[in-house]
Amino acid sequence: MKHFWINTDNNLKRRNFMTEQFKKYNIENYRISAITPKDFDNVLEQKRPLTCKHPGCTSCEYEYGCLSSHIKAMKECLKYDDPYYVIIEDDIYLPFKIDYDNLIKSYSNNFDIIQLLILYNNTIDTLRNHFINTGNLFIKWQYLLPSTGMYIISKQGAQKMVDLYVNKNNKYDFSQSKCQNVADVLIYSSIPTIATTLPYCYPNVDMGSEIHPDHLEAHKNAVDSIKNTINIIKNYPFVN
């Protein structure tokens, strides 16, 4: 499955990190040059001052950059004829090679996105126990199951998102958004989204955070929960 990965032009460390992983697993991949605040005058319909509508947020411009970059990746998906794609951020570690085709086939209802990473340690533990007790690998996404670190998106889902958030002037336009303009909330609220109850990746916290350095400690706790989950679940579904 094609992987579209978002990376700022000046972050060679992350670029090399991702390139090595794709080479290891022989994954077809396409780098998406991330949109940053310096690009806004040319690509973003909203004008400064920007607000993502998240209470107390002090990094709204970076939230818009992240969100716009994900829509840019979806636009790139539409150049190809595959039914599904993976969109992934450039700090994500892949602990296994995923059998995407059978993972997708195992869910019988309609969806446009499968979220493969939830980045909150208490929720990770709760969902792991849910999987152990029920065998259910999927739940409907709800506010707030955070992270756009890695997800599968259908081609029709990518088209819906582009139709919603790219205007007739070919600019990213979130003026009609009815929710917070942050990547996970807006993307997963906009089209039918499910989440896996087991994590399929985790962030490499050694890469730091370009948007929320203040979240790193929480991310470390989440990564610990993910690693623990991987150790506990002996027959991890749909991995090689």
Residue 238 lies in a domain: no
Residue 55 lies in a domain: yes
State both tokens at 225: 């929960």
Euclidean distance between CA atoms 85 and 90, whole angstroms: 16
User: Which domain range does residue 165 map to?
Assistant: 3-232
Residue 240 lies in a domain: no
Residue 237 lies in a domain: no
Q: At what angle do helices 155-165 and 60-77 cross, to 10 degrees?
A: 130
| Cβ neighbours, 10 Å, residue 19 | 15
CA distances from 63 to 67, 126, 136 (A): 6, 28, 32
pLDDT for 153-164, tens place per residue? 999 999 999 999
Report the CATH number that the domain containing residue 154 is assigned in CATH: 3.90.550
> Where does the pLDDT of residue 213 fall: very low under 50, low under 70, confident under 90, or very high at 90 and above?
low
Residue 239 lies in a domain: no
Residue 9 lies in a domain: yes
Containing 85, the helix (H) or strand (E) segment is strand 84-89
User: How many domains is the chain partitioned into structurally?
Assistant: 1
**Range 212-232 average pLDDT:** 86
Residue 165 lies in a domain: yes
Euclidean distance between CA atoms 67 and 120, whole angstroms: 20
**Range 133-151 average pLDDT:** 97
> Where does the pLDDT of residue 206 fall: very low under 50, low under 70, confident under 90, or very high at 90 and above?
confident
Who's near 199: CB < 8 A, 6+ residues apart? Answer: 116, 117, 118, 124, 226, 229, 230
